[in-house]
Structure 1
Amino acid sequence: MVLDWLAKGKPATLPELLARKQYGKAVEMAQAAFNARPRDGRLQLQLADVLVAAGRGREAVPLLRSMADELATEGFTAKAIAILKRIQKIEPGRDIERRLATLIEDRNRQQPSGAPPAAAPVLPDFGMEEIALDPVGSPGALDFEGPSTDAPAAPAPVAPAAADEARHGPALFPDFSKDELIAVMDGLRLSAYEPGDLVVAEGEPGDSLFLVTSGEVKAWIRNREGRYVLVRQMTEGDFFGEISVLTGSPRTATIVAASWCELLELDRPTLDSITSAYPRVRDVLQRFYEQRMATSADVLQRPGAA
């Protein structure tokens, strides 16, 4: 009774208003927060999401479009495409794809090949704090093994193809033409994962590649003792899975969401459809595949290596 009385005098939070379906008040709160800090992309995305929840998606579209444009102009292609997918759920159409492709193409012309953006803008990572993996509660009862706390640990050995699920390097998009980029953007599917969710499992068939747009994922491989050892941490712009999707080989690592995250996924049937119209898309992926394998050149060049 006392707690109920105290709760009545406490202003409701935005999640509480949404849970109670008090959408009018939720929109007012989100709008006030955004008005106070109009350059905060997290608050802009929050307002857009609240408008969508309130059934006012069309009012959210201009907010999302401006975010997508800014991200594409600044060189944050993965985030821009993630926003694009949100827009398309509200307002299906190809015009936004073409606009983004033009902005990305213009940005790529201005920026030297392979040069990363200077710094990520404060855009749309609202509510995405990292949560450490719990070895006991991880999906599938995986026996994860972290680095030793007694002494500095050497990097875990990675098999020549194991980098397939543990990529950290240049994004794919700068190598695509405008039409190729539009086709790839159209084929990508946006999915969200909670901390601890299993994305792919080592040894399973590989039929899609992934691009991290927000949050963080971790790659684990099984050692000789059967325990899972952390080999990579991947964040925005990192991708994995292209070797499996190209060759059909099994997954070479287990990927687990380390925080709330969003991933763009391109599956093999969609890729095959894209490459039938744009063969160079497969060539670009093949080049990344070859670069990936080159990272293991020191292993392959040892005497007796096949």
Structure 2
Amino acid sequence: MRIPFFEPKIEHLDLYLARRAYDKALGAIGRELRRRPDDLPLRRRKADLLRQTGETESAVEALQDLAQRYVSVGFHARAIALYKEILELDPERAQIHRELAALIGTESPREEPRLEAREEDPEARARELAASSLFTLFDTDALEEVLTSTSLRVFQEGDIIVTEGEEGLSLFLIVDGSVKIFTRGQKGEHLPLAALGAGALFGEVSVVYGKPRTATVTASSPVTAIEISKEEIDRIARAHPNVRTVLKRFCEERAANAISVLTGARSGD
């Protein structure tokens, strides 16, 4: 008697994982990705599952493919974070930052990133694309140096990331999670200024202009962020003077855009 074969289905994914039926889980993910190849969150789950099951080489390939897809839609910060994960899994990949620098330098982002339902907030998507555009402003050699100098930081909810009044020693680009920004009032009370999510850049003004931190930033959820230290930026700028010029121009454009948005909001009242 022939036993019927049933292909794993994506709707049973959580059940497969609960039963540790990882082959079926990977089969279900693969089948769904053939139907929806641009589902990047699902590709992330595939990479995580491969890593969890000890299939390091396949996990690296999945992470690399996912990073390239993020670059293709202009989300360079996420690609950088993924390449840092690849380096953790395979420290022998000495040329990985040069590879990513070349990829960012040559890839033309699509006009409409197709990142599935998880990326449905157009404002958040626009903010992330704007912050990620920083990396396209460097030439390949300078970008490789910048990428090599970055570190991936993880903060838990409630952690203080930067403190108002302190020296600005690094800048941060949020890959995942959200933060709250506060300043001190006249009586020492905390006054909320803003909330930022994935794609937001903060701390750059203190680093570029040498000013103390103008606000305190705390994690309002688990946060993954790319950090670049002032010391590393200064070191890179000695060999690539245009790095500091690029950062200053980027800060000025962001400030001008912020003023434009604020002016537009007030005129619409």
User: Where does residue 157 of structure 2 map in the other structure?
Assistant: 195
Distance verdict in 2 for CA 1:296–1:72, change over 3 Å: closer
Alignment-derived partner of residue 89 in structure 2: 90
How far apart are 1:180 and its partner, in Å? 1.4
Alignment CA distance shift 1:37-1:225 (3 Å) = farther
SS at match of 1:252: coil
Tell me the alpha carbon deviations over residues 139-160 of structure 1, each in whole angstroms, 9 at most, x when there is no partner: xxxxxxxxxxxxxxxxxxxxxx
The DSSP-based 3-state class of the residue aligned with 1:172 is helix
Q: How does 1:239-278 map to 2 (within 5 A)?
A: 239-278=201-240
8 Å CA contact 2:74–2:129 kept in 1: the answer is no
State the distance in 2 between where 1:79 and 1:63 align: 14
**Higher normalized contact order (CA 8 Å, seq sep 6+, divided by chain length):** 1
AA partner of residue 76 (structure 1): F
Tell whether the 8 Å contact from 1:208 to 1:267 is kept in structure 2 after alignment: yes
Query: For this pair of structures, how many residues does the alignment match?
Result: 232
What does 1:1-306 align with in structure 2 at a 5 Å threshold?
14=17, 25=20, 27-28=22-23, 30-38=25-33, 39=37, 40-92=39-91, 93-107=93-107, 110=108, 118-119=112-113, 121-122=115-116, 170=131, 171-291=133-253
Residues in 2 aligned to 1:168 and 1:188: alpha-carbon distance in whole angstroms: 19
Task: Check the 8 A contact 1:168/1:239 in 2, yes or no.
Answer: no
- Of 216-225 and 265-274, more deviation after overlay is shown by 216-225
Using the TM superposition, give the Cα deviation of residue 270 of structure 1 relative to its aligned residue in structure 2, in angstroms.
1.6
If the length of structure 1 is used for normalisation, what is the TM-score? Answer: 0.65
Name the CA distance, whole Å, in 2 between partners of 1:77 and 1:193: 21
Q: Conserved in 2, the CA contact under 8 Å of 1:30 and 1:46?
A: no
Change (3 A) 1:296 1:44: closer
Q: Distance in 2 between matches of 1:221 and 1:118?
A: 36
TM-score under structure 2 length normalisation:
0.73
CA–CA distance in structure 1, aligned partners of residues 173 and 229 of structure 2: 12
C-alpha distance in structure 1 between counterparts of 2:147 and 2:65, whole Å: 18
Cα deviation, 1:52-86, whole Å, max 9, x if unaligned, reads 23433222011001001111111111111111111
Shift of 1:291: 4.4
Q: Call closer, same or farther: CA 1:169–1:246 in 2, change over 3 Å.
A: same
Structure 1 residue 228, shift from structure 2 partner: 1.8
Alignment check: 8 A CA contact 1:168 1:234 kept: no
Higher helix residue share: 2
